[in-house]
Structure 1
Amino acid sequence: MPVPSVIPVSDTAVWTLSGFGDEISPDPAIQLAVLEALGARHIEVRSAWGVNVADFDDERADALAGLISHAGFGVSAIASPIGKVGVSLPVEHEVERLRAVIRVAHRLESRYVRIFSFYRGDGVPVEATRDDVLSRLRALADIAEAEDVVLLHENEKEIYGDVPSRVLDLVESVGSDHLRLAWDNANFVQCGVKPFTEGWATLAPYVDYLQVKDAVAATGEVVPAGEGDGELLETATALRDAGYRGFASLEPHLAAGFALGGFSGPAAFGRAARAFDKLLAQIGVTTA
């Protein structure tokens, strides 16, 4: 299924709604049913049946592809855990895992694969990891280029690319059209950043994908869109004005968060979707 493209602004902007299915339920059939009830026709795949996408075998990928196709859905992105490991591991560790994830991406007809930029050891200065991070991301980008997928780096606390200056450093230093950015307002807030004020101007040219969640600066608590300090309204307005017609993927994290993701459940996921719709209505954007 083709990736939505950027086109000139019209009177009403329509963004493509998606969401992390495993935030709803481990059962992909329930994931798809809830997303459909919320008006989505795409899903972001991080895990199904309790198995992370990096650990899918061909049989599981085929089964999920069949469910998604039967529901008439597309896959907005593969929400892989690539790069959410220590930078001290050998380069080959994540290279091989990415190859496995890309096989799943091809089977599910998704061109986008989310990645991260590596944890560091306790007491290790972030600056000391730069060369190792960049060499690993370059190796991952080489694979993405050969396989014609686009890696989406997600800003995440405690990895190299956690704050805008380092996110900009990695995307410019790697310098690949197959390494772009997934923008997460809440994660920036949890790093002490005002996302739009401090990051948007420099990072906007590299942003291909919006992950939707918000957070409260004082506590780090994740909340529905527009209820925190993530400057989501300003971000969404700037995207609209730039003619964005890409994905907006709900990742609410309203019930629980853990190392490889989060959970909301159907009711809280619906609350997050309604909050996002309310925010977008203020600027004349709808989702489909």
Structure 2
Amino acid sequence: MSKFILSAFADEIDPDLKVQMDVLEQHDIRYIEMRGVYGKNLVQYSLEEVKEIKKRLDDRGFKISAIGSPIGKIGILDDFEPHLELFKHTIEIAKILETSYIRMFSFYIPKGDDPAKYRDEVIRRWEEFIKAAEGTGLTLLHENEKGIYGDTAERCLDLLTTLNCDYVKFTFDPANFVQCDVETYPHAFNLLKSYIAYMHIKDALYSNHSVVPAGYGDGKVKEILTELYQRGYEGFLSIEPHLGNFVGFSELEQGIVDPNLPEGGPKQFGIAANALKKILSQIERRE
């Protein structure tokens, strides 16, 4: 039996942590993939400030599913040493927040250049991350993202197999693959399924790369979650709305859009959360 645990990028609801937790509570979600809070990226806070954030989370019974860090989201030609120091700081933040996961990337490749040209440097930098995280008990999650080395399924697999590290795993983001014109399922999923330790719930359209609620795009979110469910996946499904006023908003069926919610982050989050819950109820009913 699979165990899906819902989490979310709560900074898309509101910068204020209290508002984030209030809205998540309404959706019975008790985990946050923390990227930004109070208008600042989490990794920019001092450890003392992070301890205060942890206290506020504890007071409300919230936990952190992962640090939604920007590590690896710099150019491959940018100076690496300060970034490595930021990663070491992020490790200390993860310890304070009592999470096992840090979400990371594999560096932006200069536009128009062949990513293969920078492969060795990507591997070298990731080996430095691995060394820094050794013995911490943390798992480093590489996410596929447009424009980085690991933006295709093949290059993600290349990175994961070359590093061959038991605490380097994969965060599968269907929308990001769609935005790179990669087939999410079965192609990317089958290549990467043995490394998937975490899911981002985001969907998109091949036609214009716009982000839509889960199940309304070309990301095959339902098919992916169905197979994970059948495989006994136990882990997080992290909702990342990224919605805006997408085409087809008015076409969403009843139950997905809550008419009582004000415009803005809480409403968009509600749409994203309800779309995922609809898929999960369909999967569970099939059992």
* TM-score (norm: length of structure 2): 0.90
> Which residue pairs with 1:284 in the alignment?
284
5+ residue gaps, structure 2: 246-263
1:196: Cα distance to partner?
1.3
1:63: Cα distance to partner?
1.6
State how far apart, in whole Å, the 2-side matches of 1:217 and 1:41 are: 32
Does the aligned pair in 1 maintain the 2:7–2:238 contact within 8 Å? yes
2:31 is the alignment partner of 1:63 = no
> Which residue pairs with 2:248 in the alignment?
none
CA deviation vs aligned residue, 1:157-205 (integer Å, no higher than 9, x gap): 0000001000000011011111100110000000001101211112000
> Which residue pairs with 1:125 in the alignment?
114
AA paired with 1:15? F
Q: Rg bigger for which structure?
A: 2
AA paired with 2:203? D
* Secondary structure at 2:70 match in 1: coil
1:151: Cα distance to partner?
0.6
Does the aligned pair in 2 maintain the 1:213–1:252 contact within 8 Å? yes
State how far apart, in whole Å, the 1-side matches of 2:171 and 2:111 are: 26
1:102: Cα distance to partner?
1.1
State how far apart, in whole Å, the 2-side matches of 1:56 and 1:165 are: 35
* Secondary structure at 2:145 match in 1: coil
> Which residue pairs with 2:223 in the alignment?
234
AA paired with 2:150? G
CA deviation vs aligned residue, 1:221-256 (integer Å, no higher than 9, x gap): 000000000001110011001101211110010129
Does the aligned pair in 2 maintain the 1:214–1:229 contact within 8 Å? yes
**Residue of 40, 59, 77 corresponding to 2:66:** 77
AA paired with 2:104? I
2:187 is the alignment partner of 1:163 = no
State how far apart, in whole Å, the 2-side matches of 1:125 and 1:143 are: 29
**Larger RCO: Structure 1 or Structure 2 (Cα < 8 Å, ≥ 6 residues apart)?**
1
**Residue of 78, 84, 88 corresponding to 1:89:** 78
For residues 1-288 of structure 1, the aligned pairs below 5 Å read 9=1, 13-255=2-244, 265-284=265-284
What's the C-alpha RMSD, in Å, of the aligned pairs? Answer: 1.5
5+ residue gaps, structure 1: 1-8, 257-263
Structure 1 runs (4+) greater than 3 angstroms displaced: none
Alignment identity in percent? Answer: 41
* Secondary structure at 2:171 match in 1: strand
AA paired with 2:185? F
* Secondary structure at 2:81 match in 1: helix
1:80: Cα distance to partner?
0.2
State how far apart, in whole Å, the 2-side matches of 1:122 and 1:203 are: 26
Does the aligned pair in 2 maintain the 1:117–1:133 contact within 8 Å? yes
Moved more, 220-229 or 114-123: 114-123
AA paired with 2:271? R
Aligned length: 268
